[in-house]
Amino acid sequence: MSELDENLTPAERRERDVLAAAFREVFLLPSGKRVLFWMLEQCAIYREAFAGEAVSATHYALGLQGAGAS
């Protein structure tokens, strides 16, 4: 992570720190955690992506999971 820090300007570092603090503040709340887990469920990260021979369904599920992993 220190390599990433070296490439940040002071303004970018401040913005990153402010955003990280906002995430911590939101996820300390039970409602913030509930929203986070709901969003992850919408991205199908808890489901099996493989749909047998239904290749399109597998690709769709993998796309949803990719959005959740970003």
Q: Is the pLDDT at 64 greater than 80, yes or no?
A: no
pTM over 0.75: no
Report how far Cα 49 is from the mean position of its chain's Cα atoms: 17
Joined tokens for residue 19: 């955003």
Domain boundaries, the chain: 2-69
Per-residue H/E/C for 4-25: HHHCCCHHHHHHHHHHHHHHHH
Please report the pLDDT score of residue 63 as a whole number.
Answer: 80
The 10s digit of each residue's pLDDT in 22-55 is: 999 999 999 999 998 998 888 777 778 888 888 8
